[in-house]
Amino acid sequence: MEILSLLGQGVLLSLQPLNLLLILIGVTLGLFIGAMPGLGSVNGVAILLPITFLVPPGSAIIFLAAIYYGAMYGGAISSITLGIPGASTAVATTFDGRPLALQGKASLALVTAALASFVGGTVANVLFTLFAPVLAAVALSFGPPEIFALMLLAFATFVGLGGDDIPKTILSICLGLVLGSVGFDQISGAPRLVLFDISGFLHGINFLVLAIGVYGIGEMLWTIEQTRGEVTTTTARISVRGMLSDTRESVKRGWKGTAIGSFLGFFVGVLPAAGATPGSLMSYGVAKMVARRPEEFGKGHPGGVAAPEAANNSASTGAMLPMLTLGIPGSPTTAILLGGMVIWGLVPGPRLFVDESEFVWGLIGSFYVSNVVAVAVNLAFIPLFIWMLRMPFTILAPMIFVLSIVGGYAATRDMHDMWLIVIFGFAAFFLRKFDYPLAPAVLAIVLGPIAEPTLRQSLLLSSGDPSIFFTRPIAGPITIAALVLIFLPAIKLLRRGRGKTMADEG
Amino acid sequence: MTIERRVFLGLAAAAMLSVAPLQAVAQEWQPRKPIDFVIMAGPGGGADQIARFIQSVAEQNDMTSRPLVPNNKGGGSGAEALIALANTNDPDHTLLVTLNSFFTTPLRQENLGIDITSFTPIAMMGVDPFVLWVHKDQGISTVEEFVEAAKAADGEWVMGGTGKGQEDSIVIAFLAGAYDLRIKYIPYDGGGAVAKDLAGQQVMATVNNPAEAKGFYDSGDFVPLLAFSDERLPAYPDVPTAKEKGQDFSYYNQRAVVGPPGMSEEAAAYYRDLFTRIYETDAWQGYLQSESLSPLWMNAEEQRAYWDTQITRHRELLAAMGE
């Protein structure tokens, strides 16, 4: 009951005129920041941090959290309408969101994304409110072996993602892993794979650079080639009645994905080092796995939009949990928020919940309010995004190209990355022509850099003995589950034999 | 279009008029565009926090005519940032927020061809001491107990840090040598991650800056055993220094602002004045105190001399570690 009264005060605090206004501005700004390819919540929060020096700390963090929230909603928009992930957290959304848009069902995809985000956010808020201290303890019990086991599980859920051609899927994963290891070796503390001694490779290959190259440039080249330039866009229409029927369909076909994303996303988000991107990718994989007809995923299934979208919102709230309860960032964005808290004169750490109770509960209250505001703002803007889609391809294609290039630059502010995007775009086009699935490479470049150091840290801890992954109480069951998942479908696929058409995933 | 242009010209003229008297009086150099405030580390770490705090002080007090724009270039232990500075085409509008990788990275990656003595000293904002921490459930409260426990673990004593050649690994290497310990060192990707795994008792001890461990110290989870500072830290008056324990060793992380090679004298003078004023604000003094940074103010000449001694010292320390 005490929690409810604290939460009530928090909600009231965030409904004060100044805070409500900041939430409205923050969510709307966040929506567009998230929708811009390349600009994600990290850049948005970092760029707008100085503005918050003008308002009290409680309002400042509410504003930044609203941006974070809005960006999670916004990421889906360009993933669906343009096929370019608006932020790393929305990459999985392109897998089914883009096909839906191409089938003229963009509004179904956008409505599904908005609703799933809302449910994901709400579930996360409730879990956060009720179980914050318990979950903080869980987060601490995840050391390197546990995180590695979790990453293994994430890979396992994606075994089927590449379609039936296992060698090509494995090659794609390896390609992603190699690209993910470029730059710096954290364990030995030395640079590695700095190709041709180009200093731009020192910061590694940003996940977004690959994703924008593959899905922005690569996809555009593909469309041009497929249609010989005769593309006019889909006949996307928008009406109130249409949106209502979309709502019905998205609930009917997306609820399972939403449920998976909401819970899985939150849990992965709570674990420091993981964050919303792996959370959304894993949720997509699990949703596909448990679906009645998994083969529909990747061709425009609302569940494939709902799962990652529910997960990235849920995970962004989850990532706030270690930040508020322990003073440890759960994601890159919360790392900047922590810096903000120091600037505002707060001491992040386990005492924050007690010493700054009003600040903390004001923020938690604002999550609830931001979530409602975000879904309303998002739904209100859907007609605008649909209108964008109706532009002829001859206008849209150059726009996508420019957005891809600008987005790639925004992420690291390095010309080097712009060239990489173009190179990856062409490479992706040719790989796709030869039926190589690309999603596994994208998955590998995001999970690899988390999996590799934790694997090596674990083996350092155990002096090289791999049984550490089986004997620890939390890591053990996860590792075994992952291994079972990896080998089951492989055996199934081998049994099915040849002669099946290969599923085309993009 | 024409209207916009006219407005623009008008504004430009107004701006020139408003600046003109100032220039006439002081002939002072002013930044003409946003200042690229490069940080030698990724977002969220200690150096990043300090850079953004400095930015907030400058912003709140309206101290610069053009904003400081933080730009994280943490790649390759800061190598990326050093290269960016060495090759900048606008040395008057570029600054670097450093830590000790300013000294160690060019030594460890000699092929970079970076000579930090060619950089322009601007301001030493403070130095960050290191403290040895254990979790309270270890039941250890003194260095002597720590040494005993580490020896008893017989090679299985696990400490976390931010990686080989990084500041804390230098301190841990010293500790191992001085007390003849065999330590299993696990590298993490930042001080925050290290503190988290000490809180979760995934590792047995760490060497963290006070700022990184403060939250857990306040909650009673972390116990400080030894400070690697010259004097006892005001915020931790009961924690003995290594010097008191008979070890002639202290180690700090520098929190300094540096300009690129080739920065003009006028620009350097402007930034030195700017950071002196930032240093003197109550906000920065309060930050030094709350984050347990030690003041170590130096003028440009003293900073150059300090760099020379630090390069020599780090060369020795790294050589002793086998790096």
Task: Please give the torsion angle defined by the CA atoms of residues A383, A387, A388 and A394, in that order, rounded to the nearest 10 degrees.
Answer: 170
The neighbouring-strand residues paired with B69 are B36
Q: Which residues of A touch B195 (CB under 8 A)?
A: 328
Confidence at residue A14, expressed as pLDDT on a 0 to 100 scale: 87
DSSP state of B143: H
How far, in Å, CA of A103 to CA of A80, rounded? Answer: 11
What DSSP string describes A25-39?
HHHHHHHHHHHSTT-
Which amino acid would we find at residue B205? A
User: Which residue carries 């107004």 as its tokens?
Assistant: B14
| Token pair recorded at residue A485 | 């998942």
What's the average model confidence in pLDDT over B173-191? Answer: 90
- Whether A53 sits inside 8 A of B59 (CB atoms) is yes
Residue B32 phi/psi, 5-degree rounding, is: -105, -5
Say if strands B157-161 and B131-135 run parallel, antiparallel, or are unpaired: unpaired
Average pLDDT, chain A: 83
Which amino acid would we find at residue A476? G
> Residue A145: which pLDDT band, with cuts at 50, 70 and 90?
very high
- Residue B113 exposed, middle or buried by CB count within 10 Å (0-12, 13-18, 19+): exposed
Contact A142, A266 (CB under 8 A): no
Contact A67, A24 (CB under 8 A): no
pLDDT digits (tens, 9 = 90+) for A50-104: 778 788 888 998 999 999 889 888 888 888 888 887 777 888 898 899 888 888 8
* Fold type of domain B131-227: D-Maltodextrin-Binding Protein; domain 2 (3.40.190)
Tell me the shortest Cα–Cα distance from A349 to chain B, in angstroms. Answer: 4
- Whether A347 sits inside 8 A of B108 (CB atoms) is no
Confidence at residue A205, expressed as pLDDT on a 0 to 100 scale: 86
Q: Is B275 helix (H, G, I), strand (E, B) or coil?
A: helix
What's the average model confidence in pLDDT over A339-362? Answer: 83
* Fold type of domain B32-128+252-320: D-Maltodextrin-Binding Protein; domain 2 (3.40.190)
> Residue B17: which pLDDT band, with cuts at 50, 70 and 90?
very low
B205-208, strands of its sheet edge to edge = B183-187, B157-161, B205-208, B131-135, B222-227
pLDDT digits (tens, 9 = 90+) for B251-308: 999 999 999 999 999 999 999 999 999 999 999 999 999 889 999 999 999 999 999 9
- Whether A191 sits inside 8 A of B76 (CB atoms) is yes
How far, in Å, CA of A415 to CA of A405, rounded? Answer: 10
DSSP state of A214: I
Residue B31 has pLDDT above 90, yes or no: yes
Q: Which residues of A touch B56 (CB under 8 A)?
A: 49-50, 53, 343
How many residues appear in chain A? 506
The number of beta carbons lying within 10 Å of the beta carbon of residue A102 is 17
- Whether A203 sits inside 8 A of B74 (CB atoms) is yes
Distance of CA A18 to the CA centre of its chain: 30
Mean pLDDT is lowest, of A124-138, A204-218, A219-233, B208-222, for A219-233
- Whether B79 sits inside 8 A of A202 (CB atoms) is yes
Residue B1 has pLDDT above 90, yes or no: no
Confidence at residue B19, expressed as pLDDT on a 0 to 100 scale: 45
Confidence at residue B16, expressed as pLDDT on a 0 to 100 scale: 47
Q: Report CA torsion sign: B289, B290, B292, B298.
A: negative
Tell me the shortest Cα–Cα distance from B229 to chain A, in angstroms. Answer: 23
Largest CA distance in chain B: 81
Q: Where in chain B is the domain with CATH 3.40.190.150?
A: 32-128+252-320
